[in-house]
Amino acid sequence: MVRLRAARLTARARLTLLQTALVLAAGAALTGLTYLLMRRHTFFTHLDRSGTDPSGTPPPTPTAVDLQAFANRVQTATLSALLPQAGLALIVVTALAAVLGWVVAGRVLGPIRVISSTARRLSAENLTERVPVTSPADELSALAGTVNDMLDRIQRGLFERDRVLDSQRLFTANAAHELRTPLTTARTAIDVTLDGHPSRAELLAMAGDVRGSVEHMQRVLDGLLLLARSQAGLAAREPVDLAAVAAAALDAAGARAAAAGVAVRSELRPAQVSGEPVLLERMIGNLVDNAVRYNVAGGRLVVDTGTAGGRAILRISNTGRPVPPGEAETLLEPFVHGQGTRVRTDGLGLGLSIVRAVTLAHRGRIAVAARTGGGLDITIDFPQNPVTKDARSQDIDSLQEMVLP
């Protein structure tokens, strides 16, 4: 029963009891020590023989036994008077210590009560309130600062969680729509063709439509798999020269660029990075492919590589339709072709989102800017000497920024 009651005591009451007990113990020890010292102390008496009794006869000389008995009586009387007085003083001091301990404990625990009440008021819907930081700087102000830092991280984490969940829902809806379109096309071609007695030519036309739909779905799925792979982190790193990769991508797109009337100019200086060659090849291939696909007849495509400030830099600039400045960054989101929304074109809308995911997986930075007169200017830079970590820890800081956006 005593233990249960003790467990219900507040921290202020426990601190008060502790301080009072310490004062009581110290006072009792001081009183006991004083009593023992008084017992060990030898009492001396002084015999004054100058006085006389009324008859004029000098008082008799006391014997040693009488003097010792008298000293013992004085010591006993002194010790008897010491204990009650010391006990009374100890009670007064203990009571005063209890009052002062209660007041001091309340002042010391005041900031903690504020922190506790603030924490109780907080919820997932209200994380804007912060614990007041007292001065001067001490352990309690450090505790308040730590709690505020924790609340800041929680608030940022919840905001990022909501943003990622919204992006995932949008990504899922867009991916489902992108896959549903070719499925609907194939289903319609089959239903229309088989409604009756189709000829060989009609069956061949239906097969072509179905084949085209399947190829479209395969491209979408390949893009999604590559996007997921780039977000999962790098399994291994190898030295890669961005200049060589860009040269290969330009060679592969040379025929398409010539057919579209796009003039290609490049200045490829060595730009060594450490990364996964397949992902970097796909990243630069997507950039070149987009620059050619969304260019204009008689337009230009400029590709530069090099190094600056200890970072490898890739820049791709192309002419094209005018892009509003605020819309350029939205093109990095999946299934966005323009105007910040899904627009049906001959592309999949995954090219630049894959570029961003690969960039972040390699701890790089990407900047997309709309060019005056139309087109985009995309600059990507990578650290030339990244810190080597395992595949999971290496990319953990980038996961929240990756696409899904």
Give the pLDDT score at 379.
93
What is the CB neighbour count within 10 angstroms for residue 299?
19
Phi-psi region of 345 (alpha: psi -120 to 50; beta: other; left: phi over 0): beta
Segments of the chain with pLDDT less than 70: 1-8, 37-68, 70-71, 75, 123-125, 134, 138, 164, 167-168, 170-175, 177-178, 223-224, 226-235, 333-351, 385-405
Tokens 């113990």 appear where? 25
How far apart are the C-alpha atoms of 166 and 185, rounded to whole Å? 29
Provide the sign of the torsion angle of the four alpha carbons 193, 197, 201, 204, taken in this order.
Answer: positive
Question: In Å, what is the CA distance from 380 to each residue of 94, 345, 366?
Answer: 74, 26, 4
Q: What is the pLDDT of residue 128?
A: 77
Reported as a single tens digit per residue, the pLDDT across 341-398 is 443 344 445 667 778 878 888 888 989 888 888 889 999 999 986 544 443 333 334 4
pLDDT averaged over every residue in the chain: 76
**Pairwise CA distance, residues 220 & 85, whole Å:** 96
User: Which pLDDT score, from 0 to 100, does residue 227 have?
Assistant: 62
d(Cα 365, Cα 24) in Å, to the nearest integer?
68
The CA distance from 329 to 368, in Å, is 6
pLDDT of residue 389: 42
Judge whether 344 and 350 are in contact, CB under 8 Å: no
CA-to-CA separations, 28 to 41, 47, 93, 323, in angstroms, rounded: 20, 37, 11, 87
- CB burial of 351-383 (b: ≥16 within 10 Å; e: otherwise) equals bbbbbbbbbbbbbbebebebeeebbbbbebbbe
Residues paired with 301 in a beta bridge: 264, 318
Closest CA to 305 of 293, 294, 314: 314
Instruction: Please give the order of strands across the beta sheet that includes 376-383.
Output: 263-268, 300-308, 311-318, 376-383, 365-370
Estimate the crossing angle of helix 139-194 against helix 64-121, to 10 degrees: 30
Q: Which residues pair with 193 in a beta bridge?
A: none
308, containing H or E segment: strand 300-308
Query: Which pLDDT does position 123 carry in this prediction?
Result: 64
| The pLDDT value given to residue 53 | 56
- Model-level pTM? 0.50
Q: In whole angstroms, give the CA distance from residue 257 to residue 251.
A: 10
pLDDT number for residue 167: 61
d(CA 318, CA 298): 11
What is the reported pLDDT for 346?
43
Residues facing 369 on adjacent strands: 377
Query: What is the enclosing helix (H) or strand (E) of 188?
Result: helix 139-194
Q: What is the DSSP string of 55-101?
A: TSPPPPPPPHHHHHHHHHHHHHHHHHHHHHHHHHHHHHHHHHHHHHH
